[in-house]
Amino acid sequence: MSAALPIRHLLLALLAVAVWGVNFVVIKAGLDHLPPLLFAALRFTFAFLPIVFFIPRPAVPWRNLVAYGLFIGVGQFGLLYIAMNGHISPGLASLVAQTNVFFTIGLAMMLNGERVRPVQIAALALAAAGIGVIVAYTDGATTPFGLLLVLLAAFSWACGNIASKNAGRINMVAYVAWSSGVAIVPLLGLSMAFEGWDADRTALAAMTPEVWGAVLYQSWGNSLFGFAVWGWLLVRHPAASIAPLSLLVPVFGMGASAVLLAEPLPAWKLTAASLVMGGLALNVFWPVLMRR
């Protein structure tokens, strides 16, 4: 059993998780004014600049940085922003995105020969049941297309997790900042191709302080602050003490969406959340239970 966290470290971890959860509401606010791919390009531009002038490139091969930047920047957030642009509600997006845990397990099995445990199959079945509930109740706010896009974003997040795992023990702030530069050009190119220069130029010209705040929250709050705090805590405490706190991301995400955006929380949505979160919790806590 892992040792209890000092209260200051626990509060710091909760702050990082809250930043990540509320981020889904911030994304929705930014998408009210910016095309999704342009929004993603701006996010990674300011996660890259100006911080790369102050921290050295992490000691990892360029191919690793490129892979992480493309999977996280273009795959995860490019698809997530498109999905949240009218195809899925912020609260449900924060929940479905956590399925990256199961995609990560599957990729680790395929690439590293890791064995799947029966309890992991049970955990996946619980989460899949939750996704099934969401599919059964898709409506105007959440569509099958939006759900598929978020699942693909979660898969891309899992691919990024494998890339970061292969990078080893490095400065995660430097890793996130330098890899962010990889995502900028593809996202801008895709934005030009699918959203159009006229739409991008109009959106950029009309940006208000609130919209810039949404962009910088993404860049500095969600990417740099969140990863820096998480990495700092993981260095100082066992992963078993820190990792379970990430289960609170959908709690903050759905709560913030309900409070700030008046997103309804009907019984089916709470049922889906309970199933997905139950599967995630079972996957995280079963090693501790086995040790006991």
Residues 165, 64 contacting (CB under 8 angstroms): no
Q: Domain for residue 290, yes or no?
A: no
Q: Domain for residue 284, yes or no?
A: no
pTM above 0.95, yes or no: no
Taking residues 104-125, what's their average pLDDT?
79
Q: Domain for residue 129, yes or no?
A: no
Cα separations (Å) of 182 from 65, 66, 99?
8, 6, 25
For helices 7-31 and 226-236, the axis angle rounded to 10 degrees is 160
pLDDT in tens, 167-204: 888 888 899 999 999 999 999 999 999 999 999 999 99
Identify the pLDDT of residue 245.
Answer: 77
pLDDT at 158 over 70: yes
Domain count, the chain: 1
- Poorest-confidence range of 24-28, 31-35, 133-137? 133-137
Q: Return all residues near 99 (Cβ < 8 A) that are at least 6 apart.
A: 127, 131, 151, 154, 276
Identify the pLDDT of residue 121.
Answer: 84
Taking residues 249-274, what's their average pLDDT?
90
Q: Domain for residue 287, yes or no?
A: no
Q: Domain for residue 208, yes or no?
A: yes
Q: Domain for residue 175, yes or no?
A: yes
pLDDT at 82 over 90: yes
Query: Mean pLDDT in the chain?
Result: 88
pLDDT at 1 over 70: no
Q: Domain for residue 280, yes or no?
A: no
Segments forming the whole domain that contains residue 246: 7-94+141-259
Identify the pLDDT of residue 238.
Answer: 66
Q: Domain for residue 115, yes or no?
A: no
pLDDT at 117 over 60: yes
